[in-house]
Structure 1
Amino acid sequence: MDKQRIRKTLVSIARNPQQSFQIFVVGVFLFSIGVGTILYAEHRLIPSVTRELFAFAGTLVAGTGVLVTLTGYLRLCAGRFLKFFFDE
């Protein structure tokens, strides 16, 4: 990708930091729900297949939360990246 195309993409992402922050918060919420599900399965359920399925579901939700949070954080960093590299 050339420099202008990268710059154009970053400008479009950096124009709406509120949306990027909302994405970040949703990711943190998903991660918290996933970890809570894992802890619930570990401490409240008797050892069984159901317990393992709860823990697996919690792992999937927490992993999704991490990816969404990372996306939101990188979008928030786009504005700083623009200022540092492109002087905008």
Structure 2
Amino acid sequence: METQTEEFIKLINQSVAIAEQMRSQSGQSQRLNNVINVLQSVKNKVMIGQLEPSAGNSTLGLSREVADWIETLDAPLLKAVGAVEAYYQQHF
């Protein structure tokens, strides 16, 4: 069984991969770069044990950021960052 940290990093990596794929096909490269940078920062904080606890209340702000500019609300990137947010709130 994977640890919570490993599972969280896996979700982050999936989101980064989707964002990187979109970056090569989209006119939103700056926004995608910002999302990738935030995801990488969160990943680094998790790996060194410095991610602030959510306590079930705080979010990372990723879903809102992506939802503000993504073309469709069922986009894979929005679903992926939503999964990161949900996992963060439930396990951190």
- TM-score normalised over the length of structure 1: 0.41
> Which has the larger helix fraction?
1
Which of structures 1 and 2 has the larger relative contact order (alpha carbons within 8 angstroms, sep 6+)?
1
- TM-score normalised over the length of structure 2: 0.40
